[in-house]
Each structure stands twice: as C-alpha cells, then as structure tokens.
Structure 1
Amino acid sequence: MSDEVLVEVDGGVAVITINRPQARNAVNGAVARGVAAALEELEQRADVAAYVLTGAGGTFCAGMDLKGFLKGDVPHVEGRGFGGIVEAPPRKPIVAAVEGYALAGGFELALACDVIVASEGAKFGLPEPKRGLVAAAGGVMRLPRRIPYHVAMEIALTGDHFPAARLYEVGLVNHVTPDGEALAKAVELAGRIAQNAPLALAATKRLIVESGDWSGAEMFAKQADIIDPIFASKDAMEGAAAFAEKRAPRWRGE
C-alpha cells in the first residue's frame, strides 16, 4: 500500500484516507491500488466492522487526476473499477466523510459509500460534460437511484457544483456538520454501526443493495437465502442471550 492511502483502525472502525492534498486528493493509479489493497485486507479482519472514507487536507476528492490521465496513468483496478471501489464496494458498511470538494470521480467515490456525512462548505458535482467526458464511474447510474430524477438530471447535465445543504434536502447527504467536523461525525456514526453484529450488518447491506430489482413474487425467497444463515449463526444466539442477561453482546462473526 502506498503512502497516498492511509489506514487507521480504532474501535472497530477503519478510516481510509486519500492522502494527496497537494493534488486535492485526485485519484491516480497509486490511490486506486491503495484503496483496493486496503479493502482487500480490511474485509478479512475481524476487528473491523465498518469503514470511513475521507480525504486529507480539507478536500474529499477532486476526481480523476487529469494530468496523470494524459500521461497514461490509469486510476482503475481490475474488478474494482475507479478508485479501487466504485465497481465493487465493500461488503462491510462504509461512510464517506466529505470536506471541501467531492467532484467528478470524487462524487462517485462518495456515491459508492453507504452513508454520506458532509461539512457545510462541501461542494458536490459531476462536471465531466464541461470537459467533454461522461461520469462513467457510477455517477450517472447511481445518482437517479438515490435522489429524484429531475434533481439527478440537473446535477448530471449542468456539471455545476451543489452545496451539501442542497443534497441534504434531497436525501443524499445524511448529516451536515460545521466545516472541519465531517470526519469526527462520520467516525462516530461508523462506530455506532460497528457495535452491531458483523454478519447481520453485511446481510442487511446486501439486502438493501440487491433487492431493488426483485419482483414481489421472488423477494422473500431471495431474502431467505441471505438471512437464513444469519438467524442460525452463533451471533444470533449471542444477541438474544446478551439481551436476556442485560449485557453488551460479544460478537464473533460466526
């Protein structure tokens, strides 16, 4: 893993930081590989139940490193896509902590997350059409699934910047904080998530992600395939026992 991606684990939460503040955390090949490598390792760790994705130096991510792109540097990882995450988000829950700009690919990184916390001064946008490009890292596909159609169209077609407050209004941003406090709020939120049973968290996320196109006739059968192992798990028994004994559960992830 390169020093352009930093990882810190504490209290069941892994904070993954894009560390290119001199380039407004624009994603190059090293960042994409670093994020992919971090997730590859962290997905296997029992001491990590949730993630926070953020950027160093007061900016989340300004998108693809265009200077690198012109030189042939590819900010993608095979099987995981742009930034090492957009085509294969992690199984565990992930929270985006956004300060400053989340533009183009940076916005698409945030859209690959499950929850978004943003500061008051944060700006979001998909400016690719202004540069003769298309937001091809999931932005134009995910956005209309998260917010009303016409709002998604305005964001995608104008390429303009939109403040965190506006995206909070339409339900895309979960929490808006004072500037400089998005990471603290995201870590606190991820910590609350991480207190829950890891198998149940992964199954719950999978159900929300996958069930959108299930028909009424198949939805409960498909759900059963995912949740039956959870109800038969040791963690399910532990959760019930902890409730009955009025103590904190001790999750084992099995």
Structure 2
Amino acid sequence: MRVLLKRLISVTNIPMQRYAVRLCSSDSQAKAAVKDKPEEHEPKESEKIEVQKKNVVVEKFGQITTLNIDRQPTRNSLDIATLHEMTEAINAFDNDPEAKVLVFNGEGGSFCSGFNMNDIGTVGYHNLKDAAMRLERRPLCDKITIAAVSGYAVAEGFELALSCDLRVIEDTAILGCLGRRFGVPQSLFGARKLTSLIGLSPALDLLITGRLITGIDAHRLGLACKLTSTGTALGEAIKLAKSLVKFPSNAMVMDKMAAINSQLNPNSEESMRDEAIMNSLLGNAIEDMKEGVKKFQAGIGKHGKFYKLTEVELKDWELEETSDEVTIKIKQKEKEDNIKS
C-alpha cells in the first residue's frame, strides 16, 4: 500500500499531508487531522480533499476529481446505496465549474464487480437498474471521464468502464460480461457501447460467450488508451488527466460529443440534447480559439509541441523556418529581375 501511495504522490505531485484525511480510521479522526493542521499550510479550496466515508470516496485535486468505489469485501459491487452515492458524486462533478476531468477507480485492487447478486435476489433487479439510471447516460458526463481499471471490471463494472471516455487498464485486469452465467443482461447499454468501441464481431464474441479477457486482450481490442502494470492504473490515469486539463475544454467536449453521437446517439433525444450543449459551447470555443491564435503567433506550440503551452520567448531555431521562407522569396525575386534585365 505504501509503495502504491508513493507512486501516486510522485505522479500527482500532491503533498503527503493531504492524504492524512484518507488514511484516518474514522470520521472523527479525519476531522481532528484537518483541525490539527497549521492554518498557514491549509491547501486552497480548489485543492482540498473531500471525503465521503460510506461506499464512495470523492477526492478533488484542483481540476481533477476522483470517484473511488469502496466496497472492498465484495470487490466493489454496486448496491442501491452505492449507486445513489455515485449519482450524487457524478452530478456534483458535472455541475462544478472548476472540475474538468473525472477519474473512476475501485479501492482495494478491483475496479467494480457489477450489481450485487444478493441485492438482485432481495430488492429485485428493477430497483437496482432504476438506481443505476444515471450511469446509462451517453456520454456518462459532459466533461471528460477516465476509468482506472485494475483487478476485476466485470458485468456492470465492465459497462461502467465502457461508459468512460478513456480507459487506463492494468495488464493483469480481468474484464468481461460475467453476468452471462446467471442470465443477467447488460444493464447500462453495455452491448451498444462495446459494439461501438470494438466492432460487431468481437463484441458478439464477448457478449454471447461471457468469456473474460485480460488487460492485454482489452488493449489489443482497442479498449485501453493505455496499458499499464499492476498497481499503477490510478496513478497513470491521474497523470493522463493532468495532461488534459491544460487544454481549453470547450472544443474538447464538443469533439467528444460529436464522436459519441455518431456511434451511440444517432437521431435520438440524447443526441439532440448533446447538440444543444455543443452549440452552447461554441461561443466559448471561439474565444478559446482567439487566445490560441495569439499563443501560436507568439511561438507557443510550434512544431507540434504539447508541452510548455504557456508564453515563452522564441528561440533562434524556432525562427529558422520563417527566416528560410523570407530568404527563398528574396532569391526568387532576384531571379525574376535578372530574367527581365
């Protein structure tokens, strides 16, 4: 656990004291830990960790939010209470103007094992499905979502990973439609999402047989944007999120919705809703473009660079291209003058 924590902190550059809240064994200890911290060392409001101690732990690091399912004895299965907490957390993220990327994670080494089978027997499948209604939305969030997949991501847990925009998957992770054994259908439009991501034939193979695949198989099929080693999915997902929050978000969300609409929501009410959101973002995207043009003209991002996207002084080698173009034009003009004379 300590090794994993050190990796995560090294990736996210988050001071160690911020994890004190998460490591306390009770809510009263957590409050005491926060209270005892010197006032001058308190993080800014946007950097504070938020803790929900029941089934879901929500943490916010600046513009990045993590939603951690914490039902480890059942490999993070989903009961009605957990689904309600997740709905509340996802809606809060969507409505937070500062938040840009949401990372889904499962505590204790497994992403999510789907609906709790005991609950299906006691409260009924329809009640669970109604509680999971928020997870059926396509896209899951208007903003960017990433799944940090480790351990088991099966049944509705597999569908939750498919619902995210990007997936960072550990090579030893196990994914698949495990509900096939007990006659439980894909409850969150998983069949449609899987088919749109990997194509009809391989999707039918997984859906009909219910066979499990490893993270390596998932990467080969195109489900993983990044394949990583055991114990590193969350850290790599946060690292990916940090690389995305530097981009202007309006155009990124518009392109994401256009891609999803073309596959999942053609000619539907959800598609119309997403088109309205994209139109509302267009004005802000145009303003972002104006700023982007100014940055490019100042030399930022030249030659396809994705780093140092802030104002920097142009280097001599960055001016060479412009210098060459001017020289060529002058030589061409001299040739034309010689021909005339």
**Which of the five TM-score ranges fits, normalised by the shorter chain?**
0.7 to 0.9
Q: Number of residue pairs matched?
A: 240
Judging by fraction of residues, say which structure has more strand.
Answer: 1
Give 1:152's match in structure 2, choosing from 203, 218, 229.
203
Aligned-residue RMSD, C-alpha: 2.5
Choose the corresponding residue for 1:113, options 144, 147, 164: 164
Larger displacement relative to structure 2 (150-159 or 238-247): 238-247
The answer as to whether partners of 1:127 and 1:156 remain within 8 angstroms in 2 is no
Cα pair 2:63 2:245 within 8 Å, conserved: yes
Pairing partner for 1:229 from 258, 273, 283: 283
Q: Which runs of 5+ in 1 are unaligned?
A: 216-221
Deviations 1:201-243 (A, max 9, x none): 221211111133769xxxxxx79947743443x3333333333
1:48 aligned partner, one-letter code: A
> Is 1:244 matched up with 2:244?
no
Whichever residue aligns with residue 244 of structure 1, its letter is: Q
Contact conserved, 2:250 with 2:281, CA < 8 A, in 1? no
1:60 match: 111
| Equivalences for residues 1-254 of structure 1 within 5 A | 3-72=54-123, 74-77=127-130, 81=133, 84-88=134-138, 89-212=140-263, 225=279, 228-232=282-286, 234-245=287-298, 246=300, 248=309
Q: 2-side partners of 1:214 and 1:134: how far apart?
A: 23
| SS of corresponding position for 1:52 | strand
Alpha-carbon deviations, 1:151-208, whole Å to 9, x = none? 1111111111111111111111121111000111111111111111122222121111
Q: Cα–Cα, structure 1 residues 10 and 244, in superposed 2: closer, same or farther, change >3 Å? A: farther
- In structure 2, the residue corresponding to 1:43 is in which secondary structure? helix
Q: Shift of residue 85 of structure 1?
A: 1.9
Pick the structure with more helix per residue: 2
Gaps of 5+ in 2: 1-51, 268-274, 301-307, 312-341
Contact 1:2–1:34 (8 Å) recurs in 2: no
Change (3 A) 1:154 1:102: same
Read off the aligned partner of 2:151 and give its amino acid letter. G
Change (3 A) 1:160 1:211: closer
Q: Partners in 1 of 2:123 and 2:233 — Cα distance?
A: 34
Deviation at 1:92, TM superposition (A): 0.5
Provide the C-alpha distance between the structure 2 equivalents of 1:52 and 1:133, rounded to a whole number of angstroms: 27
% same residue = 25
Question: What TM-score, normalized by structure 1, do the two folds share?
Answer: 0.85
Amino acid at match of 1:16: L
Bigger Rg over Cα: 2
Task: Go from structure 1 to structure 2 and tell me whether the alpha carbon gap of 1:198 and 1:77 turns closer, same or farther (over 3 Å shift).
Answer: farther
The residue number in structure 1 matching 2:3 is none
Task: Give the stretch that moved more between structures: 184-193 or 66-75.
Answer: 66-75
